[in-house]
Amino acid sequence: MTVAIPEFEYLQDVLHKHSAIVLSEDKHYLVEARLAPIARDLGFDTVEEVVREMKRGTDRALQERVVEAMTTNETSWFRDIHPFNALRDTIFPEIIERNKSNRTLSVWSAASSTGQELYSIALLLDSHFPEVEYWNLELLGTDLNNTVLERARAGSFSGLEINRGLPATMIARYFARDGANFVIHEKLRSKVTFRKLNLAAPWVGLPVFDIIFLRNVLIYFDPQTKKQILESAARQLRPGGYLAMGGAESPLGITDCFETVAIGGATFYRTESN
Amino acid sequence: MHALVVDDSRSMRSILGRILRDHFGMDVEEAVDGQAALDRLVGGDRPDLALVDWHMPNMTGVELVSEVRRRPELADLTILMVTSESEPEQIGEALAAGANEYLIKPFTPDAVADKLAMLGIAPGATGCNQTGEGSAP
């Protein structure tokens, strides 16, 4: 089942205005998958009816809920393991050596969703780099979506979420049960911060970072916004800092701010001047 | 690759068996409890991988894991616990007994693939079917 063209175009328009996200014509399936639970919850027979209700413009909460559902990404722990292996084996040792005099280390998960990416980085640091325990760590996750930010801050995950890519040794060591959920220990939660940020709007109040994870999010933006985001990311990196993108993504052809560095099975990007 | 699914639930054996066959191209055998699994493992042409439930009659999954790890000839058997027991302390207990990884029920086929990838087992394409998933690290 697909959403009729006027309703689909209306959704495209709302998403673009709200978050500069481009919903391409081939994403009908995504609309169905993301909005079907809302239709069920609210007693609509079809997703199309949800969008029609939205178009009436009287229910602002519904509009927010739909935008949030469309912009939430499924995520897993240590997703595409290679970048995390590169952090463990090469990048963290290099940055820790470089920053040992000022004892700071900063990492930004720029589309943090429910937090697994940033918590994976925190888990990696805690389990492999005890020397940074008392450093000034800045582990920041940002997202546009309030619901996922709240979930990320709570650090509470379902069994299905815990099953996705998290090594059993880490579950045993860093999690406690809370009812049916698994809550990450306060020691880890206290090291991370999650806040709202629209990547397509000017970035205000961000520190500079040693590492930026900007993975699987640019696909949603138009070419001009992609370029703007990547060049902002380049300016937000410390000299010698690293940018990670999704396995199928690259800044090449969008901006010439970065050079490519292959580390193990992973690809990272550094600013040319480094 | 050759796998043994150890679970007293027929439907669970069937679900896991199907995932291992269809997504990983494995040969799959089944055992209904820990004792039956141990009897099979000490026999010839033994499996490379065992997926093991916790609570079963005759011998529990953790008892099976401990028994396996006591036998040098089974040292390289890869063991994935697959159970609804999900307290972090229990996960620690199974790992201490010698399990290599731990999957909590209920699970999705993707989660099985994640865990097997952690164990260095990639989806094995059978014939010329393209999975589009690439190979695991």
CB atoms within 10 A of CB A1: 9
CATH of the domain at B66: 3.40.50.2300
A169: closest chain B residue by CA: B92
pLDDT attached to residue A74: 64
Q: Greater confidence, A202 or A26?
A: A202
At A220-240, the pLDDT tens digits run 888 999 999 999 999 999 999
Phi-psi map region of A179: left, alpha, beta (phi>0 left; psi -120 to 50 alpha): left
Stretch A193-200: mean pLDDT: 96
Stretch B34-41: mean pLDDT: 97
Nearest-Cα distance to chain A for B2, in Å, is 23
Nearest CB to A163; choose among B89, B107, B117: B107
Residue B85 lies in a domain: yes
Stretch A178-205: mean pLDDT: 96
Find, among A23, A25, A69, the residue nearest to A47 by Cα. A69
Q: In chain A, which residues have their Cβ closer than 8 Å to the Cβ of B104?
A: 159, 162-163
At B50-63, the pLDDT tens digits run 999 999 999 999 99
Nearest CB to A177; choose among B87, B94, B103: B87
pLDDT of B135 above 50: no
B89: closest chain A residue by CA: A172
At A64-94, the pLDDT tens digits run 888 878 876 667 999 989 999 999 999 999 9
Phi, psi at A13, each rounded to 5°: -65, -45
At A105-160, the pLDDT tens digits run 999 999 999 999 999 999 999 999 999 999 999 999 999 989 899 999 999 999 98
CB atoms within 10 A of CB A49: 15
Q: Do B107 and A167 touch (CB under 8 A)?
A: no
Across chain A, what does the average pLDDT equal?
A: 92
Residue B91 lies in a domain: yes
Give the CB-side neighbour count of residue A174, counting CA atoms within 13 A.
Answer: 23
At A200-217, the pLDDT tens digits run 999 999 999 999 999 989
Nearest CB to A163; choose among B89, B95, B103: B103
At B69-116, the pLDDT tens digits run 999 999 999 999 999 999 999 999 999 999 999 999 988 888 999 999
* pTM for the predicted model, two decimal places: 0.82
Answer whether A249's CB lies under 8 Å from A218's CB.
yes
Q: Which domains are delineated in chain A?
A: 5-71 (1.10.155), 82-271 (3.40.50.150)
pLDDT attached to residue A96: 98
Q: Do B91 and A265 touch (CB under 8 A)?
A: no
Q: In chain B, which residues have their Cβ closer than 8 Å to the Cβ of A265?
A: 137
Residue A113 to residue B57: CA distance in whole angstroms = 42
Residue A143 to residue A130: CA distance in whole angstroms = 28
Residue B136 lies in a domain: no
**A157 Cβ contact partners less than 8 Å away, ≥ 6 residues apart:** A114, A116, A181, A182, A183, A184
116-135 in B: which are within 8 Å (CB) of A?
A: 117-118
Q: Determine the residue among A82, A89, A171, A183 to mutate to test chain B binding: the one whose Cβ has the most chain B Cβ atoms within 10 Å.
A: A171
B108: closest chain A residue by CA: A160
Residue B59 lies in a domain: yes
Query: Chain A residues within 8 A (CB-CB) of chain B?
Result: 76, 81-82, 85, 159-160, 162-165, 167-169, 171-173, 175-177, 182, 265
pLDDT of A16 above 90: no
Residue A50 to residue A62: CA distance in whole angstroms = 8
Answer whether A54's CB lies under 8 Å from A47's CB.
no
Question: ipTM of the assembly?
Answer: 0.86
pLDDT of B125 above 70: no
Parent domain of B17: 2-118
- Give start and end residues of each alpha helix (H) in A198-270: 223-236
A163: closest chain B residue by CA: B111
Find, among A46, A120, A113, A163, the residue nearest to B111 by Cα. A163
Give chain A's length: 274
How many independent structural domains does chain B possess? Answer: 1
Token pair recorded at residue A20: 């500069």
